[in-house]
Chain A
């Protein structure tokens, strides 16, 4: 009888410890978000979104150059990375027996595990070193590299969910393979592909490491892909590690904007998929 109670007690104790682990695991999330709002929100103003930075050490100014820069760099990266990733994803799902599929899948896994800083070095060696100047385009190339395996994976997984009967029905009606793939299979999975793409965009929008020595950052508003360009994550990094109190306030505010962008994109991604079909585990 006593022994049974002891075993019960141990069981309950372990469950208690695990609940403790859940609480400890959730604390950082809570505090990071709280600190971002508390320390960042007060510096947000109209000026923050419309002005370029004031000279170092002076107050005032904003980060419009970084917001525009992030939009341009991430937008260009999406234009390069999404079509390649989606095409490769469709290929892997539609021709699963091809040897190229096996190779592509394997390589995509390797790419996915590659640290983003290494990708930055790659983009530097490829574009910056040959052009002999830093450029936003090199940053976009690095981000595109990071997006491709993510988009490939989600596209492939989504297409695999399409029931085969749908495919067979289309083929039986005399649709050629390519029309079956495009207007039946891909169309059905479009929300899923959009979700995967948005998630990839959200993930690379916050990347700093690959931009450090490609896009480099700048203090001016620039629209030229061939020049160094500012980006929000770079601005957070520069301001956070800089010496001025004013900069630190701006780092918090820029981080708040950055995280709002990332969260809105990820939540939008999740909503896009809820509408069509549910993929919840």
Chain B
């Protein structure tokens, strides 16, 4: 493969049919030229994206600097902007989502790889994969008209009654809230966390399981003492990958989180995320500074997701080297 794919592998000059050889090599050049054009477009596009985001947010960067990240005022009329509530909301909703999605996804992944009857493995993985195919806006629609009424009527009051001693579950119940957004996000990232951890677990060599079973471990003990520790950095990668997804999710969160530039301790209170603020305010922003502040938020969100995804990739790669696990979901 490598020898053949060398870009300029020396071709032995063959005296016969040199004209057709020459034509062939010109064909090769054109072919490679066209492909190179396609391949070059990609870094150029991304460079352009970074450039445009930077240019778009320069006004706000010049005025607010890095203080933008820690400042809490968001006043389009006075043209004073600070993204702290947005960053806080983005992180909190994602953490809530992970807290719900990770145990579920790991449970499903471990069950499918280690315990499930062969005949149901593929179908269950396929069905959960379908969750990833549902568009974000449909989750939002379902969230508004089905999930929120259920949460408001029974789940939130129950949480307040049973866990109300925690500040997280105190205060008035509206419906659209940090917790509602976190729950819908959990459903949305579950297929990603599940499929990557499944691939990572599949990459664990069978000798690990066999050794534990031979020592008399039960099947659960074999999994928890040998398989999971072996795959732990890959599983961490899957979780961080889910985090990357949750951070950038827009529509469903916009429709469920309540959209308020406030920081509240309670998960029942409405909040805001970076992506939701851009979605809601961008097309209605009038002042240049408002637009620029939103572009700055987009720039920060981009940097945040790039860092998180890079970390995830690194961790997955350490376990499932060469198996390509995770690249499909990324």
Question: Would A280 and B122 be within 8 Å (CB), given that A29-B128, A122-B49 are in contact?
Answer: yes
Chain A residue nearest in CB terms to B191: A25
Is A35 on the interface with B (CB-CB < 8 A)?
A: yes
Is A132 on the interface with B (CB-CB < 8 A)?
A: no
Task: Give Cα A121–Cα B275 distance, bound, in whole angstroms.
Answer: 11
Instruction: Say which residue of B124, B137, B199, B306 sits within 8 Å of A208 (CB atoms).
Output: B137
Is A182 on the interface with B (CB-CB < 8 A)?
A: yes
Task: Give Cα A96–Cα B330 distance, bound, in whole angstroms.
Answer: 21
Is B67 on the interface with A (CB-CB < 8 A)?
A: no
Q: A115: which B residues are within 8 A, CB to CB?
A: 247-250, 275, 301-302, 305
Chain A residue nearest in CB terms to B136: A208
Is A71 on the interface with B (CB-CB < 8 A)?
A: no
B28 touches A176 (CB 8 A): yes
Is B115 on the interface with A (CB-CB < 8 A)?
A: yes
Is A54 on the interface with B (CB-CB < 8 A)?
A: no
B38 touches A91 (CB 8 A): yes
B111 touches A240 (CB 8 A): no
Is A22 on the interface with B (CB-CB < 8 A)?
A: yes
Task: Give Cα A148–Cα B41 distance, bound, in whole angstroms.
Answer: 10
Q: Is the interface of B mostly helix, strand, loop or mixed?
A: helix
B275 touches A117 (CB 8 A): yes
B93 to chain A, nearest CB (A): 14
Instruction: Say which residue of A35, A117, A152, A237 sits within 8 Å of B137 (CB atoms).
Output: A237
Question: Would A153 and B328 be within 8 Å (CB), given that A25-B104, A26-B124, A31-B146 are in contact?
Answer: yes
Chain A residue nearest in CB terms to B300: A118
B35 touches A94 (CB 8 A): yes
Question: Would A95 and B42 be within 8 Å (CB), given that A14-B220, A118-B302 are in contact?
Answer: no
Instruction: Say which residue of B103, B127, B219, B255 sits within 8 Å of A26 (CB atoms).
Output: B127
Question: Would A86 and B38 be within 8 Å (CB), given that A121-B294, A240-B144 are in contact?
Answer: yes
Task: Give Cα A207–Cα B247 distance, bound, in whole angstroms.
Answer: 16
Question: Would A88 and B41 be within 8 Å (CB), given that A25-B128, A110-B306, A178-B27 are in contact?
Answer: yes
Q: A153: which B residues are within 8 A, CB to CB?
A: 327-328
Q: B36: which A residues are within 8 A, CB to CB?
A: 91, 100
Is A171 on the interface with B (CB-CB < 8 A)?
A: yes
Q: A213: which B residues are within 8 A, CB to CB?
A: 282-283
Size of interface on A: residues with Cβ below 8 Å to B: 102
Question: Would A251 and B141 be within 8 Å (CB), given that A87-B38, A113-B244, A280-B122 are in contact?
Answer: yes
A43 to chain B, nearest CB (A): 13
Question: Would A7 and B244 be within 8 Å (CB), given that A17-B107, A22-B111, A178-B30 are in contact?
Answer: no
Selecting from B2-10, B68-76, B159-167, B262-270, the interface stretch reads: B2-10
Task: Give Cα A28–Cα B295 distance, bound, in whole angstroms.
Answer: 34
Is A158 on the interface with B (CB-CB < 8 A)?
A: no
Chain B residue nearest in CB terms to A21: B107
A25 touches B108 (CB 8 A): yes
B126-156 at interface with A (beta carbon < 8 Å): 127-128, 130-131, 133-142, 144-146
Q: B275: which A residues are within 8 A, CB to CB?
A: 115, 117, 209
The range of chain B's interface size is: 35 or more
B135 touches A208 (CB 8 A): yes
Q: B40: which A residues are within 8 A, CB to CB?
A: 100, 104
A262 touches B135 (CB 8 A): yes
Is A194 on the interface with B (CB-CB < 8 A)?
A: no
A176 touches B218 (CB 8 A): no
Q: Mark B75-105, 1 if CB is under 8 A from A, else 0.
A: 0000000000000000000000000000111
Chain A residue nearest in CB terms to B103: A21
Interface core residue of B53, B108, B110, B324 (most chain A CB under 10 Å): B108
Chain A residue nearest in CB terms to B183: A28
Question: Would A113 and B330 be within 8 Å (CB), given that A25-B194, A103-B43 are in contact?
Answer: yes
Question: Would A11 and B39 be within 8 Å (CB), given that A97-B6, A208-B135 are in contact?
Answer: no
Q: A255: which B residues are within 8 A, CB to CB?
A: 137-138, 141
Q: Mark B39-66, 1 if CB is under 8 A from A, else 0.
A: 1111101101100110110000000000
A259 touches B135 (CB 8 A): yes
Q: B130: which A residues are within 8 A, CB to CB?
A: 29, 263
B185 to chain A, nearest CB (A): 12
A281 touches B202 (CB 8 A): yes
Q: Mark B9-25, 1 if CB is under 8 A from A, else 0.
A: 00000000000000011
A108 to chain B, nearest CB (A): 6
A233 to chain B, nearest CB (A): 5
Is A74 on the interface with B (CB-CB < 8 A)?
A: no
B309 touches A109 (CB 8 A): yes
Interface core residue of A24, A164, A177, A205 (most chain B CB under 10 Å): A177
Q: A90: which B residues are within 8 A, CB to CB?
A: 35, 38
Question: Would A168 and B298 be within 8 Å (CB), given that A10-B220, A88-B39, A181-B31 are in contact?
Answer: no
Q: Footprint of A on B, CB under 8 Å?
A: 1-2, 4-7, 24-25, 27-28, 30-32, 34-43, 45-46, 48-49, 52-53, 55-56, 103-105, 107-108, 110-112, 115, 122, 124, 127-128, 130-131, 133-142, 144-146, 187, 190, 194, 199, 202, 218-221, 224, 244, 247-251, 255, 275, 278-279, 282-283, 294-295, 298, 301-302, 305-306, 308-310, 313, 324, 327-328, 330
Give 20 CB contacts A-B under 8 Å: A19-B111, A29-B131, A29-B134, A32-B138, A87-B39, A91-B36, A94-B35, A111-B42, A113-B305, A113-B309, A114-B302, A117-B248, A117-B278, A121-B53, A122-B49, A125-B52, A208-B250, A237-B140, A240-B137, A255-B138
